[in-house]
Amino acid sequence: MEKCKSMVLEKPFTMRMKEFDIPDVAAEDMLLKVDMVGICGGDPIEYEGRNKKVHYPLILGHEMVGRIAKIGSEAQKQGFAVGDRVTVEPYIVCGKCEYCLNGLYQFCETSRAYGVNISCNRPPHLFGAYGEYMYVERGSKVHRIAPEVPDEAACMSSVLGNGVRWVRTLGQVKFRETVLVLGLGAQGLVSVIAAKEAGAGPIIVAGKTRNNTKWELAKEFGADYLIDIDKTDALEAIADITGGKMAEVVIETTGANAMMELGISAAKIAGRLVMAGTCGYAQNSLTTDLIVFKELKVLGGLGQSWDTEIAVDIINSRKYPIEKMISQVFPLERADEAMKFYMTEKSKTIRVAIKP
């Protein structure tokens, strides 16, 4: 049997290149030849062993683009063929449980996620995209990528899918509404794109970073105002911009206490605050009276469910230079170095990608 290579996380902090048989596919499945995979903001959690539900050994990687190398007869009925360029959503879902049927498949009762919680110790092994091939099982959501889209933009599909969810599905952003995005990481930047696409304006981004590229990208993606919270009184600035009315919708992506508090303060009366940032289950102190007195709608935002269709349309439109969000690309052999670089060089990176 022909062989292929994948980077296997054998246990926390230990990644090794391993050889596997290139598998045949079942009727409803596909095999993807991976062209590029992004290191997700969550990948370090598995790398460091902080996710107790993970069974090692594991092949990481769930933000990928590639070409279909093999496809079963049933899977072809979705309209795909060998050679098609596609991106695959992280979740493998049942389509039959209460959550799947209610459009919340990110909570599917039997959900598994590529590169997160499917060990590679059973055949066909290749359940993560840090490798030459990834096995795509039935229950996966596969989206077509246009030929002119750079790999770097295509592998951001699930990140942008999350942005679409926070801004559009949960935040219900409407034309000409003021959107405040808190945070300038990948999640903040995709939220700017989603807000621009939803017709929002003005779009205000507040955060702190010494990485100029992030500020520039926020602007290129459609931010009208940038507020460096280390240099400016953010609340005053937002009041100035909005004539005192503040922001109809706030998207909080940092999980930092001060930023969540800023979000509550900067939201307009009867506004919406979507909280997408996490803080490792820390308890936070927030002025909850502001939620009451302003009748704010506070919404938790996890991630995509039926939002990636819109994200892929945005990526295929080439309206935004999304590829600039990949700040560094490493070859597969250096995946461990790529991970360490991503974890330690926060001021130099937005998203780091691996090219098998």
Binding site for Zn ion (CB under 5 A): 40, 93-94, 97, 100, 108
Q: Report in angstroms how near the CB of residue 91 gets to Zn ion at its nearest.
A: 9
Q: Could you count the other beta carbons within 10 Å of the beta carbon of residue 175?
A: 8
Q: How far apart are CA 88 and CA 92, in angstroms?
A: 10
**Minimum CB distance to Zn ion smaller for 64 or for 273:** 64
Residue with Cβ nearer Zn ion (29 or 63): 63
Provide the minimum distance between the beta carbon of 112 and Zn ion in the complex, in angstroms, as a whole number. 11
What separation in angstroms does the CA of 232 have from each of 180, 227, 296, 334?
A: 15, 7, 25, 40
By beta-carbon proximity to Zn ion, the closer residue of 145 and 264 is: 145
User: Per residue, what are the HEC states of 249-307?
Assistant: EEEECCCCHHHHHHHHHHEEEEEEEEECCCCCCCCCCCCCHHHHHCCCEEEECCCCCCC
Sole residue written with tokens 């295929």? 316
- Closer of 109 and 233 to Zn ion (Cβ): 109
Q: Which residues are CB-neighbours of 131 under 8 A, at least 6 positions away?
A: 4, 5, 6, 7, 20, 34, 59, 61, 332, 356
**C-beta closer to Zn ion: residue 138 or 208:** 138
Please tell me the distance from the alpha carbon of residue 203 to that of residue 74, in angstroms, as a whole number. 44
User: 114 or 330, CB closer to Zn ion?
Assistant: 114
Q: How far is the CB of 216 from Zn ion (least distance, A)?
A: 24
Shortest CB 251 distance to Zn ion, Å: 17
204 near 227, Cβ under 8 Å?
yes
The rounded distance, in Å, linking the Cα atoms of 86 and 100 is 23
Phi first, then psi, for residue 241 (nearest 5°) are: -65, -40
Q: What SS3 state is found at 341?
A: helix
Closer of 48 and 216 to Zn ion (Cβ):
48
Phi, psi dihedrals of residue 7, rounded to the nearest 5°: -90, 120
Q: How far is the CB of 193 from Zn ion (least distance, A)?
A: 16
CB of 113 to Zn ion, least distance (A): 9
The CA angle 12-61-336, to the nearest 5 degrees, is: 50
Minimum CB separation of residue 43 from Zn ion in Å reads 7
